[in-house]
Structure 1
Amino acid sequence: MTGQHIPIATLIASKPKNPDLLRRALISVIQQYRRPDLLLLAFDRRLPEPGALDGVISNPFINGVVVLRNERMQGAAGTWNTGLSWLQEQGFDGYVAILDDDDEWDPDHLSQCERAGARGGADVVLSGLRVMKDGVEIPRAPLSSVTVDDFLAGNPGWQGSNTFVKLEALMRVGGFTDGLPSTNDRDLAVRLLGLPDLKVAFTHRMTATWHIDSQADALSRPGSPEKRAGLLQFLAMHGHLMSPDVMTRFKARARDLFGVDMP
């Protein structure tokens, strides 16, 4: 531990159609043992109705709440980038902790990530993301190592709600890819892990929950019509990095999980 305080900004991208799910995510932010220094709520295209989030946004346990509207390309990537650009403009120098609008964190998520990052000055800290489907947990172990090939072929467990990355590293790779309709997490992982000097740390604990059955139009939803377009675009961007074995695994996963046949 260095003892140095590195700020943490929590970033949530959302559509304002179902404030109850967003409220659940926000409550999990409020309950953090290590409270974020900033909370950014970035909404895609339009803001929620007045009063929809009263009592949560104004909670005294959150130091500063900033509400933003995405006027970049529509979708999750543009909405996240709206928050990242705002932080860069403010001269923010710390970690960005992303939480999807239909997921939630354990109370020790930020404290575990902060502790793991401080041990070696990590640029990225990966905590375990449990998967809940129809209220039942799908067993898997927290991440303990990652490679570029892992994310070219599939996704071993780094997604929106366990993204904890220094803003400087995010901006070095240009943030998220505006307009990418899906596979945003894999695309970001490939580009970040391609940095030659990136330092990655792991908490070795499950501290976040991915609800895969919650909201039909959540910005991070899996299995949507946008999945096919996202996979095709991902292949166009990163196919040149895939070995024959990785390409085979990528195509098999697209077919078996999403019913998408890759060219």
Structure 2
Amino acid sequence: MDGHRIKQTPILVLIATQPRLDCLLTVSLPSIAAQTRPADRVVIVSDKQALSVSDVKRIKSIVTTVEVIVLHNKQLAGAAGSWNTGIDYINEHYDSGFVAVLDDDDYWDNHHLALCEQEAHNAQLVISGIKMINNGQVITPKMPTQLTSEDFLIGNPGWQGSNTFIDLKLLNHAGKYSNGLVSCNDRDLAIRVLDLFPLIAFTGQATVNWNINHRDDALSAVRSSQKLKGVCQFYQRYQQRMNLKQKEQFFNRIEKLFKWTRDEIEKELRTITSEQSTKPFYNKKNSHNPKYPSA
């Protein structure tokens, strides 16, 4: 892909929100408005309830130079369904492009999209570094330089929601997001995308700012019930690919970060398995690479 073509390739920003209007207005949207390479379109998908006309006006008053589309989640409740609703909209209006995901409570440095576009000349996936922000303090950035599917069975080495910059066709080929998966969506998508051996570029710069431990409703909160359910769903899907050492590392990480023990996870897993005997958590229409069928 030559430089002329990449300049013509649309960049579509995708945001899922519960909604959390305060985060949109004060955190994520101002950083989109400040980009030196403006997005071609911003797609915001509200999950639990539709945003009001007045809310949409406030949103559009923040990002004035880019067309902003505000949708309501039409798929299963949660971030995955919201993202997929946005991706479906993008597919209806674009044959190609790059999708840049931003969580509603995270923000980008103002040259993030320009840097990703620059690195996307010969890549289908561009990964930037992440600065973790805890109570206003910057923690040592995650700066990935290589990634494999196996990395994400245990944890996350540095490709998360807000540093996703991915070719639309690759995203569709991988099966988009898993409807109904409560958390671990970044790891689930990463495994399926990396299984396709895409061309990856790493920016070598931390241009993504990830706010952690700042909201009680965050999935990353300690002993979050949503995190527990999502972890169980993820383990159910990928446990057959894990060896004994990887399983031990998987459980140790969850207990260290989120204080859920292996016994608690396995108890919740039994509950989920029972529920899914009649209704699977994911939409089979968006099921993924048949090489690795869901558990």
TM-score (normalised: structure 1): 0.92
Alignment of 1:186-197 (within 5 A): 186-196=187-197
Pick the aligned partner of 1:90 from 71, 80, 93: 93
Structure 1: which amino acid aligns with 2:41? L
Q: Which stretch of structure 1 is more off in the superposition, 70-79 or 209-218?
A: 209-218
Q: Is 1:78–2:85 an aligned residue pair?
A: no
Q: Is 1:151–2:158 an aligned residue pair?
A: no
Pick the aligned partner of 2:40 from 37, 44, 49: 37
2:215 is matched with 215
Pick the aligned partner of 1:26 from 26, 29, 54: 29
Q: 1:227 to 1:83 in 2, by over 3 A?
A: same
Structure 1: which amino acid aligns with 2:93? Q
1:259 is matched with 259
Give me the whole-angstrom Cα distance separating, in 2, the residues matched to 1:45 and 1:36: 26
Q: Which stretch of structure 1 is more off in the superposition, 35-44 or 57-66?
A: 57-66
Give me the whole-angstrom Cα distance separating, in 1, the residues matched to 2:125 and 2:238: 21
Root mean square deviation of aligned Cα: 1.7
Give me the whole-angstrom Cα distance separating, in 1, the residues matched to 2:253 and 2:194: 21
Give me the whole-angstrom Cα distance separating, in 2, the residues matched to 1:142 and 1:107: 18
Give me the whole-angstrom Cα distance separating, in 1, the residues matched to 2:119 and 2:192: 22
Give me the whole-angstrom Cα distance separating, in 1, the residues matched to 2:210 and 2:180: 23
Tell me how far 1:257 sits from its aligned partner: 1.2
Larger Rg, first or second structure (1 or 2): 2
Q: Which stretch of structure 1 is more off in the superposition, 38-47 or 48-57?
A: 48-57
TM-score (normalised: structure 2): 0.82
Structure 2: which amino acid aligns with 1:140? P
Tell me how far 1:222 sits from its aligned partner: 4.4
The percent of aligned pairs where both chains have the same amino acid is 37
1:235 is matched with 235
Structure 1: which amino acid aligns with 2:155? G
**Paired residue secondary structure (2:141):** coil
CA contact (8 A) 2:215 2:221 kept: no
Structure 2: which amino acid aligns with 1:8? I
Tell me how far 1:239 sits from its aligned partner: 1.3
Give me the whole-angstrom Cα distance separating, in 1, the residues matched to 2:31 and 2:63: 14
2:117 is matched with 114
Tell me how far 1:52 sits from its aligned partner: 2.8
Structure 2: which amino acid aligns with 1:163? T
Give me the whole-angstrom Cα distance separating, in 1, the residues matched to 2:37 and 2:64: 11
**Paired residue secondary structure (1:187):** helix
Tell me how far 1:91 sits from its aligned partner: 3.2
CA contact (8 A) 1:144 1:204 kept: yes
Give me the whole-angstrom Cα distance separating, in 1, the residues matched to 2:9 and 2:220: 31
1:14 is matched with 17
Structure 1: which amino acid aligns with 2:165? F
Structure 1: which amino acid aligns with 2:193? L
Give me the whole-angstrom Cα distance separating, in 1, the residues matched to 2:202 and 2:119: 6
RCO higher in 1 or 2 (8 Å CA, sep ≥ 6)? 1
**Paired residue secondary structure (1:148):** coil
Tell me how far 1:140 sits from its aligned partner: 3.0
**Paired residue secondary structure (1:54):** helix
2:161 is matched with 160
Structure 2: which amino acid aligns with 1:241? R
Alignment gaps of 5+ in structure 1 = none
